[in-house]
Amino acid sequence: MKNIKTLLLITTLLFLSSCKSTMGELVKNLEDAAKRVHEKNNPQKKINYNQLTKTELKNIFSNKPYVKGKPETSWPRVAVTVLKSPSSHKTPSAYMKNSNITACYDLEAVLWSNAKTSKKYQFGWCFRNDVVYEIPFYQVLGNSTRTINILFDPYLEKINTGKKRTTGPNMPKTVLPNDIRHQAFIDMSGHNINEAMIGSIMYQMGFDWLENQDRRLWFVKFNGIDGVSH
């Protein structure tokens, strides 16, 4: 019996040795397949776009408060255009941590250091990679009056472009476009991906959306409205 067991062991070792290359290939294929499945299920681990937080726009407004009556504090200014929006931008589950939401945006921002000096940035924003948790997004759209507030600062009243929205250097009258088509597209009732994106970008730039006098950041347009039939 002992000899038989020894013979079986030797035979097994010889077989495995002869199949070493085949077994190695099999293991490698299994590892590659597992890696592909992991990347598919965890897209936030794979970032191949420029992030706002990797640009000069990060915290651009931090420690630079706008002071009413002091025009020199109205710089820098940032005009953001949403070039492309995800089809699922109205999904109402944007606050779920570890969510499977893969919504992404393409954006362009023009940073104005003064009336004659500007720099353009293009970046992406994906919910799973870039959302900022534990901040009151509902204040950005839901309970906030930032989208309709008039300007009380004489300087801003004088220089703003009113309803006309441009990439600068002067800001329009409202932070967000509040025409009927944009209100329908953005869904200003709140609790959607747009709200999470807007709030996260404001937070990442160091912009306080509750400071009603500050108009240094504005969204020019969501290009997605051009493809919506109203």
Q: What is the pLDDT of residues 133-173, one digit of tens each?
A: 888 887 877 544 455 555 678 899 899 999 999 999 999 98
- The overall average pLDDT reported for the chain is 80
Identify the residue whose tokens are 């025409």. 179
Say if residue 194's pLDDT is above 50.
yes
> pTM of this prediction?
0.76
Helices (H), 48-114: none
pLDDT number for residue 31: 55
Percent of the chain with pLDDT over 70: 69
159 backbone φψ class: left, alpha, beta (φ>0; ψ -120 to 50):
alpha
Higher pLDDT, 72 or 23: 72
pLDDT number for residue 6: 56
Q: Where are the domains of the chain?
A: 2-41, 49-227
What are the pLDDT digits (tens) for 13-45?
Answer: 555 555 555 655 654 565 555 545 444 554 445
Of 33-42, 106-115, 147-156, 186-195, where does the model show the most confidence? 106-115
Full DSSP string of 150-176: PP--HHHHHH--TT---SSSS--SSSS
191 backbone φψ class: left, alpha, beta (φ>0; ψ -120 to 50):
left
Dihedral over alpha carbons 142, 147, 150, 153 (to 10 degrees): 100
Higher pLDDT, 54 or 101: 54
pLDDT number for residue 93: 53
Say if residue 207's pLDDT is above 70.
yes
Helices (H), 93-214: 127-130, 154-159, 180-186, 193-205
pLDDT number for residue 38: 45
